[in-house]
Chain A
């Protein structure tokens, strides 16, 4: 696949070209950076670390309609997911793109999820390499990622100073480069080499790490270990660690009935950290306290997911650490797992 360059002067023009699709890019919203649909290239904000909310919602919306109905009427109206059209997510971090590649495995497993998969098919991911780690709590390299990683991406941009190096990674990326042919130029001969060195440097700047070798295999033996009580003691059960996690994908399904008996069945993000999540109709709850729920969260990411898909369901973005209101730190939990016997 070809390597091109995009001068920063032409970035606005390029985004303008891409806005003929549903263009999603990081943008400032009050004090936080969020991925949102932009109509005007000026709204894009690329001088960011990482977004507070991962861009997962564009494949897996926080709430979405599965089908509509009229109460008492047997006819159901299936939602047409294609209506959202071709989408370009521009400027996401490699960890967030890798998270989508990880979650793809679940949504295409055994039963194909038509809503998620259709959106993924229609979406092109344009990544922005992390020349500097976006936060002090980044640990992507410990869980199979890389600040310059390409997994899940269709195109990768690297900030080279006055210009972005543009790597086409897939057919979708190639197609996008064709759309941008008026803005892209040939890269210099040594650009790729420079980028390779930058990637090595970036990896060296990551401050936090964990040796994950053996953790998936060890977790089942630690079921009754007292560490779960200790690490969950401060947990408020707010669920932010799961809502803001780019690989968390749990959802609820609810029916909403609106006026005149018209309604929709929708699904919405849910969190295994909530008490009601597993409560039975009988009132029995197999995970009655935060201890069981924290244990399940860590096991799901670091044991059950690797068991099914041979990959840890964590990309080391650090959001769950940065944004936990009581400073629960997944790396601290994993350190305790490593040390436990």
Chain B
């Protein structure tokens, strides 16, 4: 019987800050220490892992790299508590431990032939990054790709360099925003739900995927409905406190669903039936 509580060691091959400040965001590029684990590993966009350091603890994060990016995994982590602060101390050459892949994934096979629009806010872009990368790496399978992303300031944007490259590639239209005016900021100023209305993606044959702070998601869902998106065209991820990651410890349930096991990916159609989903 495989023991799902035993984590695998991963070695950090690169680490960099995405955003500075008190709640800074750091991305870790890692490889498994054990070759056999690599051989048995497979994940899909949206899958998560418990990430931690024995002696400190574990927290659940979405894997921020697509399975089409071979040879490494990425995690983009905001410093928020004890475990994430300890992780932020680590650099290339250090190790931490992960358990996974956990949770469900975005139904990208079902979305084939459709346009995809992602709507992210702050660190909420991390679960969307593998979706964007997957679509770019399987370009012929999907229609248009549009990216809407905002953060408090231009410094708080994750994956800045990638967005520049994506924007230039012609693969995808990038719409960026910051909450408050800054000198020389060439893009939108305002909150993400407003940027969404400005971009106004058309709902025909389109899937909208949104991740970000709960308050942003609430307004984005409302605005998507206003734009004509039906609940089954809209997907999001939920977060909750988790410990086991495998639907046993009981803590992350929203209604009868466990975020760790049945999520983190849910369609808005599913969540509309669950009153606790946006508590």
Contacts and interface: CB of A to CB of B under 8 A. Distances in A.
A216 B59 CA distance: 32
Contacts of A261: 55
A101 interface: no
Contacts of B248: 106-107, 111, 113, 249, 251
Contacts of A249: 248, 250
Given A115-B5, A252-B249, A286-B276, 9 more contacts: A67-B6, A106-B247, A111-B4, A111-B246, A272-B250, A279-B241, A286-B240, A292-B279, A300-B250
Interface of B: 1-7, 9, 33, 54-59, 80-81, 84, 95, 214, 239-241, 243-244, 246-256, 261, 275-276, 279
Main secondary structure of the interface of A (DSSP, over half): mixed
B246 A74 contact: no
A67 B81 CA distance: 23
A114 B279 contact: no
A253 B54 contact: no
A268 to B, nearest CB: 10
A272 B250 CA distance: 8
B250 A250 contact: yes
A67 B244 contact: no
A236 B63 CA distance: 40
Contact of A281 (B4, B54, B84, B214): B84
A280 B243 contact: no
B256 A117 contact: no
Contact of B279 (A109, A113, A263, A286): A286
Contact of A253 (B58, B95, B240, B252): B58
Nearest to B3: A114
B33 A278 contact: no
A251 B55 contact: no
The 9 A-B residue pairs with the shortest CB-CB distance, nearest first, are A250-B250, A111-B246, A304-B256, A281-B81, A286-B279, A69-B54, A281-B80, A71-B55, A307-B256
20 contacts: A66-B6, A69-B55, A110-B261, A111-B247, A113-B248, A220-B275, A223-B276, A250-B251, A251-B243, A251-B250, A252-B243, A253-B243, A270-B251, A272-B251, A277-B241, A279-B241, A281-B241, A286-B240, A286-B254, A286-B279
B54 A114 contact: no
Interface in A62-94: 66-67, 69, 71, 74, 76, 78
A110 B4 CA distance: 11
Nearest to B9: A74
B80 A76 contact: no
B57 A254 contact: yes
A287 B275 CA distance: 12
B247 A304 contact: no
Given A74-B9, A76-B7, A308-B256, A223 B246 contact: no
A280 B240 contact: yes
A250 B57 contact: no
Given A111-B246, A117-B1, A280-B240, A255 B55 contact: yes
